[in-house]
Structure 1
Amino acid sequence: MNLSKQVFQFLVAFSVVLYAIACTEQNSQKKHVGANGAAAPAIPDESKLIAIADTVYKGLTFKVYADAKLDNKYHTVYLQVKDKEGKPFNSSSLDYYPQMDMGLMKHGGPFEHPVALGEGWYRGSMVFIMADIPDMGPGWHLYTTLETKGKKDTIALKLPVSAAKTMRTMSSGTRDDSRVFISNLLPDTLKQGKHPIKFLMSRMEHHDFPPLDGYLIKLKTNMPAMGHGSSGNKDAEAIGQGYYEGEVNFSMAGQWEIIVELWKDGKKANQDDIKYQVYIIK
């Protein structure tokens, strides 16, 4: 093999290596691979989110986004923080939580502490257990806490929460855990057939709502207009942190209801009826 051919092959191989390294770096930046090698949560596509609120505090800009316009349901809420130069602001001390101010009283709602996604983005899920009530207090806020230079600051951002068209969060008294809140994470409309179903269950403790495990959520589907249900439903079992997963089957198009029973230690525990409405299309 002559020298020129060897040089050519070397340059080709070297170019392939450089390309592979560049691709790896780009993928790493997109996925934000952590120190343990596992891919961290991805940075959200801002164009696919709904802008909810924003404010400026001590040179930092806080912007709240969500998966949809907020109503009294389960939502994924994002916070983006930038410094006065417009650069992403990352902090391991940042936290946030929802709170409803009704004037004479305040209460929170079920929520998950935010996960830092990188590039100034944070993500957390929460349930707004009721809509804002006109002329009854300021309503819902996202309270963001941040520690800088040994001092803890709290920033409040107003969250407009409207009444949901279809109820997805219900409450019931129980035998052992007082009043609990059960959020159904299904959309209002689904296609005919089988679907995984997920719930978040929380216990009410004064104004806090810690996650509640240890139950079995029994499921039954019913089509009131036709007077029948459907087979193939699987009861929702606890998977941790208050979440439960099961499966529901809708055998034809039309209006359906999902009837829920909470069971604990082999006995029915809910004291109130729990039903969710869902519209099925072909």
Structure 2
Amino acid sequence: MFNSIKYIALLLLAFSLYSCKDDDTNPVKDTDEVTLNSIVNKTSGDYTFEVVSEDKELKEGHSVFYIRATDNSNNSIAKDLSVNLIMEMGMMIHSTPFMTEVVTMNDKEYIKVDATFIMASAGGSWFITLKSETMAIDERMDCTVIATGNVKRFTFEEKSYFVTLRSLDSPKVGMNDFVISVHTRESMMIHPAVTDLTTEVEMLMPSMGHGSDGNVSPIHSANGVYKGKVNFNMTGDWKITLRLKRGEMMIGEPIVYTLDF
């Protein structure tokens, strides 16, 4: 009996030692680590600036990127900077909808920029401005915004509206998120979110002459973002028609997105 207990104890000890060794050679991966791609960087005087993104390029429509700004001792100066996004078109300039906040990722401080580029670089030249009066910083960083076709523009009652598709990058058979954002132009530099609309979504597969069931028209979530669902019941060519309303009045003409997968 004693020998049996001793044998079991030795087995448990050996197992625990093996487990500890296995843990040491296979540390738990930091799931908070984010892979960031460098978009553009610049060193000016005592400061270094870098624009990075989880995507490899900035794109027309919804695009999230981050700005790392440091002094020559590698200390972050993110909290000291103001950011603007500018499109230069000959003698005219304008901005685009965006929000900023300072965040920490990979143990570093960044300015997170949640932007909606209302046009691609083909229409002009985009650049980012970084400014600080107290630190005498006034920098320009040129960047390229690739075309996607995700932004639809229309005019209603002499005001420009911009409707941006923010989903369906990788559509699949079945239910898919259908997310849009809506902004208007108050001035060339101010593009507030539109939050008071209702929507209607209609699906059609032109080659087969049928639609789909179970679609959910987007409703406003926050900051001009509207979330719904669309159902692709088979692969092929699809046409999504979106109607925007304020009360009972339709705003602009129906917006059409087409895709084939």
CA deviations over 1:215-240 (Å, ceiling 9, x no partner): 01221122111111111111111112
Match of 1:60 in 2: 47
Match of 2:58 in 1: 70
| Cα shift at 1:61 | 0.9
Inter-CA distance 178–232: structure 2 relative to 1 (3 Å threshold):
same
Inter-CA distance 187–50: structure 2 relative to 1 (3 Å threshold):
farther
Match of 2:36 in 1: 49
| Cα shift at 1:162 | 2.4
| Cα shift at 1:89 | 0.5
> Counterpart of 1:65 in 2: which secondary structure?
strand
| Cα shift at 1:58 | 3.1
Unaligned runs of 5+ in 2: 1-29
Inter-CA distance 214–253: structure 2 relative to 1 (3 Å threshold):
same
Paired with 1:94 and 1:274, the residues of 2 have a C-alpha distance of 38
Within a 5 Å distance, the mapping from 1:120-131 to structure 2 comes to 120-131=109-120
> Counterpart of 2:243 in 1: which secondary structure?
strand
Calculate the aligned-residue CA RMSD, in Å. 2.3
Code of the residue aligned with 2:67 in structure 1: it is L
Match of 1:80 in 2: 68
TM-score (norm 2): 0.79
Paired with 1:90 and 1:152, the residues of 2 have a C-alpha distance of 12
Inter-CA distance 95–266: structure 2 relative to 1 (3 Å threshold):
same
> Counterpart of 1:112 in 2: which secondary structure?
strand
| Cα shift at 1:263 | 0.9
Q: Which structure has the larger Rg over C-alpha atoms?
A: 2
Matched, 1:110 2:97: yes
Inter-CA distance 97–277: structure 2 relative to 1 (3 Å threshold):
farther
Within a 5 Å distance, the mapping from 1:242-281 to structure 2 comes to 242-269=224-251, 271-280=252-261
TM-score (norm 1): 0.74
CA deviations over 1:185-208 (Å, ceiling 9, x no partner): 114331111012221111112212
Tell whether the 8 Å contact from 2:100 to 2:111 is kept in structure 1 after alignment. Answer: no
Matched, 1:192 2:152: no
| Cα shift at 1:146 | 2.8
> Percent identity among equivalent residues?
24
Q: Which moved more, 1:109-118 or 1:122-131?
A: 109-118
Match of 1:157 in 2: 141
What is the number of equivalent residue pairs in this alignment? Answer: 229
2:85 to 82, 90, 98: 98
Higher strand fraction (1 or 2): 2
